Chains A and B, each alone.
Chain A
Amino acid sequence: MIFMAIVQDIEVPDSAARSARAADELQDAVGEKMVLNMGPSHPATHGVLRIVLELDGEIITKADPDVGYLHRGDEKIAENMTYTQFIPYTDRLDYLAPLANNVAYALAVEKLLGIEKDLPPRCQYIRVMCAELARISAHLLGLGAFAMDLGAVTVFLLSFTEREKIYDLAEAISGARFTTSYTRIGGVARDLPPGWLEQCRKFCDEFIPALNEFETLLTRNRIWVDRVRDLAVISKSDAIDYGLSGPNLRGSGVEYDLRRNQPYLCYKDLEFDIPTGAVGDCYDRYLVRMEEMRQSVRILEQCIRKIPGGADNQSNEPVNVADGKITLPPKQKVLSSMEELIHQFMLVTEGVNCPPGEIYFGHENPKGELGFYICSKGGGTPYRMKIRSPSFVNLSIIPKIFQGAMISDTVAILGSLDFVMGECDR
């Protein structure tokens, strides 16, 4: 009896085997598809990005990025506070380049006020230096993390040695290493401290040899080149169609840089080149970032040389717009003069009174174009503020470029896209 039962089991396949056979007959002759969840806590996702990968063996057939794990509602928060109060929130967008975010936001509000042309030259130079230092800092981390994900841990440690010096510079001007909140509407929080320019020049002098060292570790390293070359090629037309910006756009050979094409601050007076890639692969994006750091140093050196007032500002060049309705008056005046007291009171309680209207300002941030769309109905708070974050837009190309890549390539592609989730999710 027992023997009979076993024979029967073999003759009549169970439901699981039946459905597997049916699936085989239908399609999927190559192999079974597998769904793999990557993130949100994964060392290569640089934050909290989650990607649902559909795999055929080791080949990715479909990728579905899932963002929003770091959503804090910055746009809603912005509608409920004055323009100045939002500055600290901009630190927390691209938290690898807070100084650049500060500059971008201040410029957007100044465009709404119509005073961006009235900014004192010294203030413009200080802001350019801030933005370029932030660019170097962000690219260094992007590069270090990119290399570490592919096994080159040394680069990460070396790049952090250099970043440490930038943090020291940020601390000297703003008092904070990370959350700088350095700009104000119509100027900056305070002038450069004594000796800062010298410290910055020293950084520039030391940085180029360090950068050369990174290049010897990576640029012609056979292992590195084999891992990143011809990987995740983004064509020129795709880069434009998907709205990529920053090094990801330029890596695909599109020569577009807001500092050049829509010059703001004093970028018109400064000489720099815009590196572009030829192929649009991960290697090109890496090369573009390396060259951008060199160009940033070039800009920094020109700024140090040309900044009005020089290191100690003997000639008392202003760093703020001379308008009591926009920037806070000097404290001594507030304590001794009625008008300045009123200005201070109104600015602190009601904020900068912006005209009704709407503007969009795009700033060339390290990750790409950080834009602010401000819709104002007058008064000290925006009616609506939309943040166009470069990481959000850059990540939207993932389903396209992940298709057909190997699973081990994911970390390389993510590293080359160089995104920050704080900015993507807002």
Chain B
Amino acid sequence: MTAIESAKKIKARFGDLISEPAEFRGETTLQLADAEKIAEVCACAKNDLGFDYLVDISSVDNYGDDPRWTVVYHLRGLRHGGELRIKTGVSEEKSELPSVIDVWKTANWHEREIFDMMGIRFSGHPDLRRILMWEGYPYFPLRKDFPLAGKPTELPGVAFTKTAPLEGGPFVTVAGGGDATGREPRVRPPKE
């Protein structure tokens, strides 16, 4: 069973919640409209379509757009070799979606990492703590509005206050901006 067939089966099962499968570089992507259904869709993909291996969960910060977060699941069926990507948007006010830890145990650390780096919470996760940063760290460093140089803070040793080596360099992009030109600092008018 190829990825596109699986994608069509999921589409048939969940109807309007699932977008038409998109193809890019031989990979199939499905967009799920309602993030609350993600655990259901994943359970269906695993139990009915044989996607028994969760490769990865990623998150993207669409700063300035709504919904702000995109959570990306990479699924693989070890037996049939198909791969499928399921994406779902989560709004900034909510910043929460169901955990898929009951479907694949490997989701545990992936979800903790996303919580740590982006600040998206996973309901039903048994142990949602920071994983790479330390307990008590106040920020979510992979958000686009968190500067590369870190933030000044009253607390010593919590966040860096020195300028990062690349800050102000030609390739330090800025948050937002629909295209690469908008994010490039060099094309912006110089500050007064």
B-binding residues in A (CB < 8 A): 67-68, 71, 73, 75-77, 79-82, 85, 111-112, 114, 238, 240-243, 254, 256, 261-262, 349, 351, 357-360, 362, 369, 371, 373, 375, 377-381, 383-384, 386, 388, 392-393, 395-396, 425-426
Q: A240-B53, A360-B55, A396-B106 are in contact. List 17 more A-B contacts (CB 8 A).
A: A67-B131, A68-B132, A71-B133, A73-B141, A75-B142, A79-B173, A80-B166, A81-B166, A242-B106, A360-B85, A362-B55, A371-B56, A379-B181, A384-B61, A386-B59, A396-B105, A425-B132
B 110-152 contacts with A by CB, 8 A: 110, 113, 117, 130-134, 141-142, 146, 148
By Cβ-Cβ distance, the 10 closest A-B pairs, closest first, are A379-B180, A243-B106, A68-B132, A386-B58, A388-B56, A396-B109, A71-B132, A384-B60, A241-B105, A357-B24
Task: Return chain A residues, CB-CB under 8 Å to B94.
Answer: none
Chain A proximity of B164: nearest CB distance (Å): 9
- Which residue of chain A has the shortest Cβ distance to B150 in the bound complex? A73
Task: Return chain B residues, CB-CB under 8 Å to A73.
Answer: 141
Beta-carbon contact of B171 and A80 below 8 Å: yes
Beta-carbon contact of A359 and B25 below 8 Å: yes
State whether A349 and B58 are in contact (beta carbons under 8 Å apart), knowing that A68-B132, A373-B72 are contacts in the complex. Answer: no
- Which residue of chain B has the shortest Cβ distance to A351 in the bound complex? B171
- Which residue of chain B has the shortest Cβ distance to A400 in the bound complex? B105
A-binding residues in B (CB < 8 A): 24-25, 27, 29, 52-56, 58-61, 72, 74, 78, 81, 83, 85, 104-106, 108-110, 113, 117, 130-134, 141-142, 146, 148, 166, 170-173, 178-181, 183-184
In the complex, A381 Cα to B148 Cα: how many Å?
A: 15
In the complex, A358 Cα to B131 Cα: how many Å?
A: 26
Specify which of A67, A112, A360, A388 lies most central, judged by the most chain B CB atoms within 10 Å of its CB: A360
In the complex, A392 Cα to B110 Cα: how many Å?
A: 9
In the complex, A383 Cα to B131 Cα: how many Å?
A: 23
Beta-carbon contact of A262 and B141 below 8 Å: no
Beta-carbon contact of B55 and A67 below 8 Å: no
What are 23 A-B pairs at a CB distance below 8 A? A67-B132, A76-B141, A77-B166, A79-B173, A81-B166, A85-B171, A114-B25, A240-B52, A243-B54, A262-B81, A357-B24, A360-B83, A360-B85, A371-B74, A373-B58, A375-B72, A379-B183, A379-B184, A381-B171, A384-B61, A386-B72, A393-B106, A426-B132
Task: Return chain B residues, CB-CB under 8 Å to A395.
Answer: 109
Chain A proximity of B71: nearest CB distance (Å): 11
In the complex, A392 Cα to B132 Cα: how many Å?
A: 10
Chain B proximity of A265: nearest CB distance (Å): 16
In the complex, A383 Cα to B104 Cα: how many Å?
A: 28
Chain A proximity of B80: nearest CB distance (Å): 11
Beta-carbon contact of A386 and B178 below 8 Å: no
Beta-carbon contact of B134 and A68 below 8 Å: yes
Which among A71, A82, A358 is the interface contact of B29 at CB below 8 angstroms? A358
Task: Return chain B residues, CB-CB under 8 Å to A378.
Answer: 179-180
Beta-carbon contact of B179 and A379 below 8 Å: yes
State whether A377 and B171 are in contact (beta carbons under 8 Å apart), knowing that A68-B131, A254-B78, A388-B55 are contacts in the complex. Answer: no
State whether A359 and B56 are in contact (beta carbons under 8 Å apart), knowing that A68-B133, A85-B171 are contacts in the complex. Answer: no
In the complex, A226 Cα to B173 Cα: how many Å?
A: 56
In the complex, A379 Cα to B174 Cα: how many Å?
A: 14
In the complex, A156 Cα to B133 Cα: how many Å?
A: 33
Task: Return chain B residues, CB-CB under 8 Å to A85.
Answer: 171
State whether A80 and B55 are in contact (beta carbons under 8 Å apart), knowing that A242-B106, A378-B180 are contacts in the complex. Answer: no
Beta-carbon contact of B148 and A76 below 8 Å: yes
Beta-carbon contact of B25 and A357 below 8 Å: yes
- Which residue of chain A has the shortest Cβ distance to B134 in the bound complex? A68
- Which residue of chain B has the shortest Cβ distance to A64 in the bound complex? B127
- Which residue of chain A has the shortest Cβ distance to B87 in the bound complex? A358
Task: Return chain A residues, CB-CB under 8 Å to B130.
Answer: 68
Task: Return chain B residues, CB-CB under 8 Å to A262.
Answer: 81
Task: Return chain A residues, CB-CB under 8 Å to B59.
Answer: 386
Task: Return chain A residues, CB-CB under 8 Å to B134.
Answer: 68
In the complex, A229 Cα to B184 Cα: how many Å?
A: 56
Beta-carbon contact of B109 and A392 below 8 Å: yes
Task: Return chain A residues, CB-CB under 8 Å to B184.
Answer: 379
- Which residue of chain A has the shortest Cβ distance to B181 in the bound complex? A379
Task: Return chain B residues, CB-CB under 8 Å to A254.
Answer: 78
Chain A proximity of B127: nearest CB distance (Å): 9
